[in-house]
């Protein structure tokens, strides 16, 4: 492991004003997204959609530091034969790869899951590195509900995250460590805070036991937010204050940066929360975005699978990327959402 090189990549991933585009939707997930806009999900349509994003020169060059790819995408060529991974590199962004293989039920823990993909991961990482990937992503899913999460679920997922991260660093790939506490329930922000604190503490303990070098990784956490079904939704200022307090209590300063997941927040909410967190200042690490839906929902709607809508899709992507770029520097205002041409 060359930690100096890993740290350079990690720092580039969270450089000022830039964040990550999570374009790593599984086949099932992107089918749901395409169904919502009336597009049939095929290998070609998925390629065309992602190529549209990667060829959007302005947002890719100005706001996107790296792109998380799905296995299918990292091997695909664009319509003109250019490898999609080369389009990302030509835009000055770093190619990355999702390496987890989804979840399955965790035995003896009803309603809880474990993430799969450790088997033969070392072999897959070597192939991804040769293809050009310089960072990877693994998502652990922690749900909040009646009697859950259990310690068994938190510990098992944290242990898997640490094993994955160690394998990545051995392969000279920066691991994005993503322990996601879901916002699907009816819990309030304080319950989210409590569970996320437990999850982060356990994750960093397991990373230590696995001898993962913190200087060569990126953390991708959820923010402290109330569940979608909660009658008591927290305001932007409360989300920012509690998220910062939570992270300062759990995340060592040695970590090069934090790139939040959006976790089902609306486009504007994800931007507003990120901005408020950065406006608080005094953070020991750069804090930016690693958004999927919060960057792509608008361009998907504008594109709708039609060639004549490619420019409109790219413009919608450019707007959302710019809004989040500003938020990563604490320079966003709600008024900017109205001026999409700016």
Which positions are annotated as active-site residues? 220
As a whole number of Å, the CA-based R_g of the chain is 19
Residue by residue, what is the 3-state secondary structure of the chain?
Answer: CCHHHHHHHHHHHCCCCCEEEEECCCHHHHHHHHHHCCCCCCHHHHHHHHHHHHCCHHHHHHHEEEEEECHHHHCCECCCCCEHHHHHHHCCCEEEEECCCCEEECCCCCCCEEECCCCCHHHHHHHHHHHCCCEEEEEEEECCECCECCHHHHHHHHHHHHHHHHHHHHCCCEEEEEEEECCCCCCCHHHHHHHHHHHHHHHHHHHHHCCCCHHHCEECCCCCCCCCCCCCCCCHHHHHHHHHHHHHHHCCCCCCCEEECCCCCCHHHHHHHHHHHHHHCCCCCCEEEEECHHHHHHHHHHHCCCHHHHHHHHHHHHHHHHHHHHHCCCCCCHHHHHCCCC
- CA proximity to 318, closest of 301, 295, 335: 295
Angle (deg, nearest 10), helices 293-303 and 43-54: 110
Burial of 107 (C-beta count, 10 Å sphere; 0-12/13-18/19+) = exposed
């Amino acid at each position: 492991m060359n930690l100096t090189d890993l740290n350079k990549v990690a720092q580039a991933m969270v450089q000022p004003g830039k964040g990550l585009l999570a374009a790593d939707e599984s086949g099932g997930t992107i089918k749901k997204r395409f169904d919502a806009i009336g597009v049939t999900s095929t290998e070609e349509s998925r390629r065309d959609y992602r190529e549209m994003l990667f060829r959007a020169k302005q947002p890719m060059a100005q706001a996107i530091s790296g792109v998380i790819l799905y296995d299918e995408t990292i091997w695909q060529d664009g319509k003109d034969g250019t490898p999609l991974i080369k389009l990302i590199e030509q835009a000055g962004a770093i190619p990355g790869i999702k390496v987890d293989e989804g979840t399955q039920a965790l035995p003896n823990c009803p309603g809880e899951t474990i993430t799969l993909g450790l088997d033969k991961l070392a072999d897959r990482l070597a192939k991804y590195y040769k293809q050009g990937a310089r960072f990877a992503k693994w998502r652990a899913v922690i749900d909040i509900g009646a009697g859950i999460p259990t310690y068994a679920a938190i510990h098992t997922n944290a242990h898997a995250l640490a094993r994955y991260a160690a394998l990545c660093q051995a392969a000279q790939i920066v691991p994005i460590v993503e322990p996601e506490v879901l916002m699907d329930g009816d819990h309030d922000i304080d319950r989210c805070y409590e569970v996320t604190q437990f999850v982060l503490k356990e994750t960093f303990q397991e990373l230590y036991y696995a001898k993962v070098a913190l200087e060569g990784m990126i953390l991708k956490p959820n923010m402290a937010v109330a569940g979608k079904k909660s009658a008591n939704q927290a305001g932007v200022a409360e989300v920012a204050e509690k998220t910062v307090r939570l992270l300062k209590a759990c995340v060592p300063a040695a970590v090069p940066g934090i790139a939040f997941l959006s976790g089902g927040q609306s486009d504007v909410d994800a931007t507003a929360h990120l901005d408020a967190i950065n406006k608080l200042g005094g953070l020991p690490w750069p804090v930016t975005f690693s958004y999927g839906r919060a960057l792509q929902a608008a361009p998907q709607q504008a594109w709708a699978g039609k060639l004549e809508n490619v420019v409109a899709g790219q413009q919608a992507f450019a707007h959302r990327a710019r809004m989040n770029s500003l938020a990563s520097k604490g320079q966003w205002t709600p008024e900017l959402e109205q001026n999409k041409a700016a």
